[in-house]
Copies of this chain bind each other. A is one copy, B any other.
Amino acid sequence: MTSYVTLLKESGLKATFQRLHIVEVVDRYGHIGIEGIYDKVTKIHPSLSVATIYKNIIIMVEKGVLVEVPIAGKKSKYELSKLDHMHLICTQCGEVEDLPCIESIDKIFDSLMQKEHFKLFRQQINLYGVCSHCQQLSCQPVD
């Protein structure tokens, strides 16, 4: 909990209760959308307004605390900034799983970017399919 305070302050943001709750929920759930954040946070902090979430998502993405994960056919989810990684996105249940990045892929990108004269800031690898869980039982879509 105290580490979230540090995270926010080091990013130049006041550590308000609202922000701490938002960050904590994002961290706990890994990948979550605006609505999900609202649902979770209002359970323990009922007065939180959606406007505050929107304002904070915007500024926290700007400051690099959060990262937007845009997903085809759905609304974006958000995650805490962390080491580059890939996303396995289950189109059945909507679950998003992190997968560590592969070094060999990074190297390929590096040489490719040199060739293209493109200054790479961030990579985003999303793999859409059906997770092992949903291949076995018939899952209900979560969102």
> How many protomers of this protein does the assembly include?
2
Q: How far is the CA of A124 from the CA of B87 in the complex (A)?
A: 10
Minimum C-beta distance from A121 to chain B (A): 5
Q: Which residues of B contact A112 (CB under 8 A)?
A: 99, 102
- Give chain A's interface secondary structure class: mixed
Q: Which residues of B contact A116 (CB under 8 A)?
A: 88, 99, 132
Partner pick for A129 among B68, B70, B104, B121, CB 8 A cutoff? B121
Can you list 14 A-B contacts with CB-CB less than 8 angstroms, sorted by A residue number?
A: A69-B72, A70-B71, A104-B104, A104-B108, A105-B105, A109-B127, A116-B132, A117-B132, A118-B130, A119-B135, A120-B127, A122-B127, A125-B125, A126-B126
